[in-house]
Amino acid sequence: NEICLAMGNKTERNEMSFSRTILITGGAGFIGSHVVRRFVRKYPSYLVVNADKLTYAGNLENLTDIADRENYRFEKTDITDKKSVSALFRKYPFDGIIHLAAESHVDRSIDNPDDFVMTNVAGTVNLLNAALSAWSGNTENRLFYHISTDEVYGSLEGGGAFTEQTPYDPKSPYSASKAGSDHFVRAYHNTYGLPVVISNCSNNYGPNQFPEKLIPLMINNIKNNKPLPVYGKGENVRDWLYVEDHAAAIDLIFHKGKPGETYNIGGGNEWKNIDLVKFLCRIMDRRLNREEGISEKLINFVKDRPGHDLRYAIDSSKIRNTLGWKPTVNFEEGLEKTVDWYLSNTQWLQNVISGEYVKYYEKMYRNR
């Protein structure tokens, strides 16, 4: 079975010789690239197929270190295009799907909700239909795993934390589209018996995150001595988790999670935005050999995000108690690793902040 085909620089092993064939959607994005890398390295007997449209957020540079592995394939696919999705499922005998492809930025969803409905809702339904049809009559050892967000639960205005039983109350077009996709995933389990699992995670940070999101945007601006746009009074609270801890949770849920179940994932690491930005400024001052306190002077309070959720906090006791997961990277260590990654991957950063990013930044921050 070990028939090998020479494909350019890469030797491709015969597709039938793998023990499993896993589809990872959105694998060229931030979290997806960490999940793809983990699966390709850790499970050489799995064929890992990364299907991604390569939107502004998708970047194959995130995966150059594993691109030549014989158990990895990339398929440029738009999940909103039914024909492409069907062709993908005809080409590979998928037995597991980890679905991360999405429009993921809240500010963009406020500016233009349509793409979020198309990709996050309609794209997810296309994948559900393709899985249902491919697995008809045989759902044993099959799993459709949908990666979702804590934002579906809405905003915590006081204390407490989101549990898996918290009613959905999405507030932004982004979270509404993710809630819609979660509902479809559960409906396919309930109606058609599709084996599904969902996880809802808190804010991720780490290498390869597109610099439209808070932490890499601030790192880039501090580095370039640009104003640091803190929305409102900076009082909003987020629960931060290092991206590789999320990838480890995804690995565990994919292999040990119970079909039909939902798992909340969180860092137990709540920070007010303003405190986080100040903390980051101190790390950057040290790394850039700047006088202590100098970067903080760049903080600029700007017009708030419309409908800005005040606080997210995750109760992750279910995954901790039933699957034995816990975060391993403490926040200071994780932030320092992240800062070091951005400071040493200048070409990566330069490539993503040229062109479109300049227009995006100008449009989003001009009137704040």
Mind telling me the catalytic residues? 150-151, 174
Interface residue with ligand DAU among 213, 246, 311, 320 (CB under 6 A) is 213
What is the CA 230 to chain-centroid distance, rounded?
22
Q: Which is nearer to ligand NAD, 153 or 188 (CB)?
A: 153
Distances (CA, A) of 343 to 127, 208, 335: 38, 12, 12
Rounded to an integer, what distance in angstroms lies between the CA atom of residue 244 and that of residue 39?
12
Q: Exposure of 292 by Cβ count < 10 A (0-12 exposed, 13-18 middle, 19+ buried)?
A: exposed
Q: Which two tokens stand for residue 321?
A: 């108690």
Which of 130, 214, 313, 335 forms a contact with ligand DAU (CB under 6 A)? 214
Write the DSSP symbol of residue 311.
Answer: B
Number of residues that bind ligand DAU (CB under 6 A): 19
Residue 52 lies near ligand NAD (rule: CB under 6 A): yes
Residue 250, class by beta-carbon neighbours within 10 Å (0-12 exposed, 13-18 middle, 19+ buried)? buried
- Closest distance of CB 31 from ligand NAD, Å: 4
Residue nearest to ligand NAD (CB): 29
Using CA atoms, how far apart are residues 236 and 265, in angstroms rounded to an integer? 20
**Quick one: 155 or 203, whose CB is closer to ligand NAD?**
203
State whether residue 29 is helix, strand or coil.
coil
Show the site string, 121-160: x = touches ligand NAD by CB under 6 A, - = not. Answer: --x-----------------------x-x-----------
* 109, two tokens: 């969803």
Out of 39, 92, 312, 325, point to the residue binding ligand DAU (CB under 6 A): 312
DSSP string, 221-237: HHHTT--EEEETTS--E
Per CB under 6 A, 175 contacts ligand NAD: no
Pick one of ligand NAD, ligand DAU, none as the site partner of residue 194 (Cβ within 5 to 8 A by kind): none
Alpha carbon distance 60, 68 (integer Å): 12
Q: Kindly list the residues in this chain that would bind ligand NAD in the complex (CB under 6 A).
A: 25-26, 28-32, 52-55, 57-58, 77-80, 100-104, 119, 123, 147, 149, 178, 201, 203-204, 210
Which residues here bind ligand DAU, judged by CB under 6 A?
104-106, 149-151, 202-203, 213-214, 217, 229-231, 236, 238, 273, 305, 312
